[in-house]
Homo-oligomer: A and B are copies of this chain.
Amino acid sequence: MNQSIGRTCWAIAEGYIPPYSNGPEPQFISHETVCILNAGVKDAHVEITIYYSDKDPVGPYLVTVPAQRTKHIRFNNLTDPEPIPHDTDFASVITSDVPIVVQHTRLDSRQAENALLSTMAFPGN
C-alpha cells in the first residue's frame, strides 16, 4: 500500500480553459484540472511546463505533492510565472523527482448543463 506507483514524466496534449461558466461557484466554474497522486513515502516536487501553438513554452510552475497525498490542480489557478490565458489551446508536460500518477479532467459549464472529460495523461518514461 505504501509503495510508490507511477512515472516521473507525463504529458497532456489537450488543454483549454473555457472563457465563461454557468452555475454556482467554485464547483461549476469551467476548469481544466491536472490530478496528481503521490502514493509514495517521499514528497513529490513537481514541475509543470505549458506549451502553446504560437509562442515559447512557459514554466516551470512549481507544485509540491506531499507523500501519500493527492492534489487536484486547476490550471486556472496557476499564476507563477504567469496565468494561463483562457480560450487558448495549450498542452502540458509534468515532471517529478519521484513517481506520480497524472490524470486530466475538464468541467465545461459554458452552457446551462456541464460537460465532463477525463483521461490518464501519457506516461513519458
Contact = CB atoms under 8 A, between A and B. Distances in A.
A80 to B, nearest CB: 16
Contacts of A51: 37, 39, 68-70
Interface residues of A, number: 63
Given A14-B118, A113-B115, A93 B53 contact: no
A116 B106 contact: yes
A47 interface: yes
B113 A113 contact: yes
Q: Which of A15, A36, A90, A113 has the most CB of B within 10 A?
A: A113
Contact of A70 (B52, B103, B115): B52
**Closest CB pairs A-B (n = 3):** A70-B91, A13-B103, A113-B113
